[in-house]
Structure 1
Amino acid sequence: MKRPLTVSRPELMPDGTDAAFRAMVHDTLAFAARIQEIRAAFGELLGLPASGYTLLMTVLHRQGRDGVGVSAVAEHLHLTGSAVTVEANRLVKLGLLEKRGDPADGRRVLLRATQRAEQMLARLAPVQAEANDALFGALDGPGFRRFAEAMHDLVGCADDALAILDLHRHRKSA
């Protein structure tokens, strides 16, 4: 029995079947799982959950002199503002983040990594570099640029796919 195709775009079926596409999806899932494991390991080395590590790294690298807004962090991480706020509150309690109102806009909350957090992340940096170099060892400079652009574009495509699935789920439940 011939199985139905899981894609219809010819660009995704170089041999006329969806076999290469399905193999790529499974490789992507395996790679994503390993990235999650690596992120969790970085967090573990700091005594944090993976989500705390990710938020702390994002704040450290995106903060200006005064900090970075919760909404900017949420947008960068493709999360909701409330999810960032919950994790930020945990990191504030641990003394790793500071929260304060934005003097220019009282409605905004700014996050800033504490000196303790900066020191912890500085100690982790050599381990991160070694692991990240290995993780992306198959990429040269042009390959990295293409991969980074593709990932950026694919996040938007994933949002489109989720919107399609939401429509189907809504129709099914109606």
Structure 2
Amino acid sequence: MDHQALADALFAQLNGVRRVLRRRTRASLEQIGGPVRPELTPSQVELLRLVEAAPGTGVGAAAQGLHLAGNSVSTLVNQLTELGLLRRDRDPADRRSARLFLTPAAQSRLSAWRAARVSHLAAALAHLDPPDREQLTAAIPALSRLADILTTMDIPAASDAAGASPSPVAAPGTRKAADEAPPGPSSVTAASQRPAGDSLPSFLGNSTERDEREGAAR
């Protein structure tokens, strides 16, 4: 199987697992507590995860970590602050800057989503034959390295995407966790950390905006 065919097959399978897992997790949380509110956009969820992984991060650092413009992140911060999910504290070293922290409501929401997701995935894995589980276990290091490369490599031009092999701009290090979007009373990702319990690689979080909204009845 060539690189293009492998990429297509891998994306389809990982995205399929993620989509089904998200829907099942959302349904189970809604059975417990009813419809999850407020609904969050994918970008809002990513910012929450980033702050969860790096409490006290500034807006500039968050913008760099999310590959977004500073004014876009400032807008997200304002939105999440109004929703009671994010707290802004003045930086004691620079009163013009703010440090970002999750509120208890956001921490609860992210934790509930993560716990439910891991529980559903563990239950599904228990139905696999031992050889299948062993193959998945053996693939985790390769998937982790692949996620690191995806995080650090240059983004190819659309005309080059089919044939080019972009090279990383930096040696892959610890990766930003961009995992599932939490819907319940419930971690985006910071370059150096990912919250415990998130065992799937970060690129498993990539999907369409519509799918993200569907799974983030957050």
- TM class by shorter chain equals 0.5 to 0.7
Aligned alpha-carbon RMSD (Å): 3.5
Tell me, yes or no, if the aligned pair for 2:21 and 2:121 is still in contact at 8 Å: no
Tell me, yes or no, if the aligned pair for 1:59 and 1:113 is still in contact at 8 Å: yes
* Residue number in structure 2 paired with 1:139: 136
Q: Higher RCO, 1 or 2 (CA under 8 Å, sep at least 6)? A: 2
Amino acid across the alignment from 1:48 = L
Which digits, 9 at most, give the CA deviation of each residue in 1:35-74, with x for residues without a partner? Answer: 87479757885632222222212211211xxx21122223
Cα distance change, pair 49–160 in 1 and its aligned pair in 2 (3 A):
closer
Cα distance change, pair 96–39 in 1 and its aligned pair in 2 (3 A):
farther
| Cα distance in structure 2, aligned partners of 1:71 and 1:39 | 33
* SS at 1:111 equivalent: strand
Cα distance change, pair 154–83 in 1 and its aligned pair in 2 (3 A):
same
* Residue number in structure 1 paired with 2:68: 79
Matched ranges for 1:1-174 at <5 A: 20-30=2-12, 33-34=15-16, 37=19, 45=36, 47-63=39-55, 67-130=56-119, 139-140=136-137, 143-157=139-153, 159-162=154-157
Say which structure is richer in helix: 1
How far did 1:105 drift? Answer: 2.5
Which digits, 9 at most, give the CA deviation of each residue in 1:119-169, with x for residues without a partner? Answer: 22232231132356569x7632x6323322222123332x2524996xxxx
Whichever of the two has the greater Rg, that structure is: 1
The number of residues matched between the two structures is: 141
Using the size of structure 1 for normalisation, the TM-score is: 0.61
How far did 1:92 drift? Answer: 0.6
Q: Percent identity?
A: 27
Cα distance change, pair 129–77 in 1 and its aligned pair in 2 (3 A):
farther
